[in-house]
Amino acid sequence: MENTQNQCSRRDFVKTSAALSVGAMGLIGTRAHAAGSGTLRVGLIGCGGRGTGAATNILDAAPGVELYALGDLFPEPLDTAFRQLSQPRPDSPMAKMGNKSNLDRERCFVGFDAYQKVIACGVDVVLMATPPHFRPIHLEAAVQAGKHSFVEKPVAVDPVGVRSVIATSSLAREKNLAIVAGTQRRHSNPHLETIRRIHRGDIGAVVGGQTYFLIHNTPWLGKHRRERHPEWSDMEWQCRCWYWFNWLSGDHIVEQFVHSLDFMNWAMGSHPVSCIGVGGREVRKGTDYGNIYDHFTIEYEYPGDVRISAMCRQIDSCTNRISDRVVGTQGSAHLGGSTATIQGARPFQYEGPNHNPQVAEHADMIASIRDGRPLNHGKRIAESSLTAIMGRMSAYTGRALKWDWALKASKLDLSPASYEFGDLPVRPIAVPGETKLI
């Protein structure tokens, strides 16, 4: 691994990132904007399952795209991704469009600074699929360097990170750069059509709603629940098992439930103004599960005294439910998976075409870049991330809190003191009534 043992404070990490990114602009000439029909070179930062999936999705999304560089904190996921992405299936959409993985070992980078090297090696678009904690840093570096960005959700784990992403989004707009988030429901035909009908008044004035993400201890979590190897430092253990630590994942209300909360913000046409929540750990015991909760229930208040009940849970052998319901004065909209219906004065059931929204989000981004009018979803995904973060903050502390305070006044920053493979004590599990609101 390269340069991963060097001590680096968070402040130095961010300052160095910005400096290197600005310097990288001189290496790429006019490729950064990539308008028109030229080939788009893509760099992937974060080579786990979602990162590999995102790379496949963008190669399937449009012709004239090539995967050019890889970066990860660890060599093992990078090596796996290199093998998987170097040889596409002959019948895959990317192969039919003539796309390719133009990967070379010289453009594969490992370590805390891998993202800087990916950004600097001549790519046009950066895919960011690292643990959520790192996304504000990586996004800022990419935009400073003039790169278009696809950033997985959530984009931050604390209010400090949210403010960073909002500022970076403003800079991207000034530079005419794309920022597209991995909120695939925004690119799903059933969701798009249902939201269109809600916004035109088919269910009347919205008066409330419910959103649920109640699942078992999800299959993909198993690979993150590893026994700690004796040679792993605290930092390496936590980064390898990132889902279980709130400084890296934001807890599952942020890492996963953000999809549902983003949908509710979309339906409401606004972010909430306040929230109050509860949560805890019923079945997650011991350090194997880090310091995250296994269930949350949050009440969000939106403008006009509209209340949304939001519930998420990850516990085996319980009833599962993933669905959204928006209630109006003349009906209600119900969404779950690819099913979308409206009941009431203007009933509706979606029966139109479906596509893969995880491919569509990349197709929409590429089309906007080539059209010279790049999409910028940075601020809205930052707001959806904060919606989830403030729910977690309320549940952790037992305190109700307001949006404006969380966005503008909260000093909560979950960053470690330095980025190095060394000692990093696990933060205590939050206890409502004892954990302080920061």
Write the pLDDT tens digit of every residue in 318-332.
999 999 999 999 999
**Residue found by looking up tokens 């403008």 in the block:** 303
Assigned domain for 144 exists: yes
Question: Which amino acid is residue 266, in one-letter code?
Answer: W
**Does the residue 410 lie in any domain?**
no
Could you tell me if 332 and 372 lie in one domain? no
**65 HSE (CA, 13 A, CB side):** 28
- What amino acid occupies position 90? P
Distance CA 311, CA 320 (A): 11
Question: Cβ contacts of residue 285 below 8 Å, gap of 6+?
Answer: none
Q: Is the pLDDT of residue 203 over 60?
A: yes
Per-residue model confidence as pLDDT tens digits over 208-265:
999 999 999 865 565 556 678 999 999 999 999 999 999 999 999 999 999 999 999 9
Residues 264 and 139 occupy one common structural domain: no
H runs (alpha helix) in 29-88: 49-61, 75-86
Strand pairing category for 40-45 and 125-128: parallel
Mean residue pLDDT of the chain comes to 90
417, 418, 422, 424: CA torsion to nearest 10 = 20
One domain for residues 256 and 398: yes
Same-domain check for residues 145 and 222: no
Domain contains 429: no
Q: Catalogue the long-range contacts made by 12-20 (C-beta closer than 8 Å, 24 or more residues apart).
A: 13/112, 13/137, 13/419, 14/137, 14/140, 16/116, 17/115, 17/116, 17/137, 17/138, 17/140, 17/141, 17/144, 18/140, 18/141, 18/144, 20/116, 20/119, 20/120, 20/141
For residues 410 and 412, what is the distance between their CA atoms, to the nearest angstrom? 6
C-alpha to C-alpha distance for 206 and 277, rounded to whole angstroms: 22
- Cα 146 → chain centroid: 21
* DSSP summary character for residue 9: B
209 & 120 share domain: no
263 touches 324 (CB < 8 A): yes
**Residue environment code for 175-213, b if the CB has 16+ CB neighbours within 10 A, otherwise e:** bbbbbbbbbbbbbbbbbbebbebbeeebbbebeebbbbb
Q: Is residue 434 part of a domain?
A: no
Angle 436-261-403 (CA atoms, 0-180°, nearest 5)? Answer: 45
DSSP 3-state helix, strand, coil percentages of the chain (rounded to 5)?
Answer: 40, 20, 40
Residue 433, domain member (yes or no):
no
Beta strand spans in 317-371 (E): 321-328, 331-336, 339-344, 348-349
Residue 408 CB neighbours (<10 A): 10
Q: Domain with 340 in it: what CATH number?
A: 3.30.360.10
Q: Are 227 and 326 in contact (CB under 8 A)?
A: no
Q: Is 413 inside any structural domain?
A: no
User: Looking at residue 227, what is its pLDDT?
Assistant: 74
Tokens of 411: 């000093």
Q: Does residue 148 have a pLDDT over 90?
A: yes
pLDDT for 137 beyond 60 = yes
Q: How many domains does the chain have?
A: 2
135 and 105, same domain (yes or no): yes
* CB contact at 8 A, 413 and 2: no
Determine the 3-state secondary structure of 366 from DSSP: helix
Amino acid identity for residue 307 in this structure: R
| 276 and 243 within one domain | yes
**Can you count the helices (H) and strands (E) in the chain?**
15, 16
Confidence of residue 32 (pLDDT cuts 50, 70, 90): very low
* Predicted local confidence at residue 379, as pLDDT: 98
* Residue 419 maps to a domain: no
How high is the pLDDT of residue 287?
A: 73
Specify whether 215 is located in the same domain as 143.
no
Structural domain that includes position 282: 189-352+384-405
Closest CA to 390 of 325, 296, 323, 327: 296
Given CA atoms 252, 11, 166, 21 in this order, what sign does their dihedral have?
Answer: negative
Checking if the pLDDT of 65 tops 50, the result is yes
Q: Are residues 216 and 337 in the same domain?
A: yes
Average pLDDT of the segment spanning 285-313: 94
Residue 92's identity, in one-letter code, is S
**Which residues neighbour 77 within 8 Å (Cβ) at sequence distance 6 or greater?**
47, 48, 51
CA distances from 184 to 46, 99, 121, 269, 337 (A): 19, 22, 28, 17, 12
Q: Is residue 101 part of a domain?
A: yes
Band (33; pLDDT cuts 50, 70, 90): very low
Tell me: do 249 and 212 sit in the same domain. yes
| 369 and 345 within one domain | no
pLDDT of residue 411: 98
Same domain, 194 and 167: no
Cis peptide upstream of residue 154 (ω within 30 degrees of 0): yes
Chain centroid, CA 63 distance in Å: 25
The predicted model gives 84-92 an average pLDDT of 78
pTM attached to this predicted model: 0.91
Per residue in 399-414, pLDDT tens?
999 999 999 999 999 9
Average pLDDT over residues 78-99: 81
pLDDT number for residue 223: 53
Between 100 and 137, the higher pLDDT residue: 137
> Shortest CA distance to 391 belongs to which of 401, 382, 378, 383?
401
